[in-house]
Structure 1
Amino acid sequence: MSTTKPINVYSIPELSQSLDEALPSVFTRLNYERSYALLDTKLYIGYSIAVVAGLSFFLDKKFERPEIVVYQKLLVGAYIALSLIFWYFSRFIEKGTVYVGKKKDTKEEIYVKGKFENNEPVYLVELIQKKNEDGSEKNLKAKLEVNKVFNEGGYLQNDVYFKWFSEQLDVLNSKKNE
């Protein structure tokens, strides 16, 4: 089975987008349910930044400058603080995570990070498995050559992609806890 839309397999952004978009269906087949906690947190921070900016604009338009200087200073400080929190969250907490899922029958979470380096057609995948029952964590780094999951026409072969992730999860599950 392949996707209905072909992509340019020589375009790293298209490859990345196509592979990232296919992850939810792959992990659904592996009995994982997508978790939106990281995305929701990032959205809340972003919306907070927008509210602070909007409030600052509103105050600036409705009142005279001497009346709102103190409030504007507070709002600028809040804007800077929220922007720093957003940067920190993106850089150190989210760290390029493209998929987060929870196992339906256990208290296990899987984090998938994926990226391309040096414009090479090799998708670098990091799987992080966290078990909430005992607090254990396992990591696995793997390389996926994109010509194995895309055919000549630029179609993603979903069954091959699913099989590759299934094999990687088997390797991850066979590892001892770190």
Structure 2
Amino acid sequence: MSALKKTNLNSVVQLRTTVDENLATSLAALGYTQSFSLIDTKLVLGYSTVLIAVGLYFADKKFGFNAIFNQTVAAIVIYSILNVALWYLTSTAAYKDVKYIGHDNKGNQIKVATWTTGYEPLYHVKISTTTGTKKKVNTLESTFEFTKLFDGIGYYKEEQLTKLFETELEKIGKKSI
């Protein structure tokens, strides 16, 4: 369906977004199923902080600040802890720019982080695979030109991304031997 949507070839952000949105489709073609645990965790943490803020607002309106001072301090501490956890999941090296986490039917895990730098039409990809019972982690960083993933008019070529990932996963497999 996304192949029917035309992308602005002059916008690096739109190019990256289009490819990021189609990662799951390409990796599904290679036998991976997406795991939403990281996304769900971020959502729960984010919504929890909003609920704390809303609860404090209404409690302050109903009871007054002095009456709920101790509860406010406790809520601020919990709010801070949740925000630190959310920051950790979005900013630290282990999770920064992670757009896809999935697994195959053998229990191997794949984590894909993607980014662009400035206005360069380059798609940077870091693929990490975790294989075996000993949880051996293999990592490979690559860079693709967006011209390989889009035609001259701006239509996304899904099969090209699938082939690129297949090639990169083969490199990781050879590297782990």
TM class by smaller structure: over 0.9
C-alpha separation in 2, matches of 1:82 and 1:2: 35
Secondary structure in 2 matching 1:94: coil
For residue 132 of structure 1, report the CA deviation from its aligned partner.
Answer: 4.8
Higher mean alpha-carbon deviation, 62-71 vs 153-162, is at: 62-71
Give the distance between the partners of 2:98 and 2:39, measured in 1 at CA. 10
- TM value normalised by structure 1: 0.93
Matched AA of 1:25: T
1:25 alignment partner in structure 2? 25
8 Å Cα contact 1:23-1:99 kept in structure 2? yes
Structure 1 letter corresponding to 2:103: K
SS at match of 1:3: helix
Deviation at 1:91, TM superposition (A): 1.1
- Structure 1 stretches (4+) deviating beyond 2 angstroms? none
Provide the rounded CA distance (Å) in 2 between the counterparts of 1:40 and 1:94: 14
Letter in 2 for 1:152: G
1:159 corresponds in structure 2 to 159
Give the match for residue 101 of structure 2.
Answer: 100
Identical-residue share of aligned pairs (%):
28
Aligned length: 176
CA distance in 2 between counterparts of 1:140 and 1:81 reads 33
Q: Per the alignment, do residues 70 and 132 of structure 1 end up closer, same or farther by CA in structure 2, a change over 3 Å counting?
A: farther
Q: TM-score, normalised by structure 2?
A: 0.94
CA-to-aligned-CA distance 1:60-79 (integer Å, 9 cap, x gap): 11112221111112212222
| Distance in 1 separating the partners of 2:143 and 2:19 | 13
| 1:22-171 correspondence to structure 2 within 5 Å | 22-92=22-92, 93-104=94-105, 106-171=106-171
1:112–1:126 contact (8 Å) kept in structure 2: yes
For 1:156, what is the secondary structure of its paired residue?
Answer: coil
Q: Which runs of 5 or more structure 1 residues have no equivalent in the other structure?
A: none
Show the counterpart of 1:6.
6
Residues 2, 157 of structure 1: 8 Å contact kept: no
Segments of structure 2 that go 5 or more residues without pairing to the other structure are none
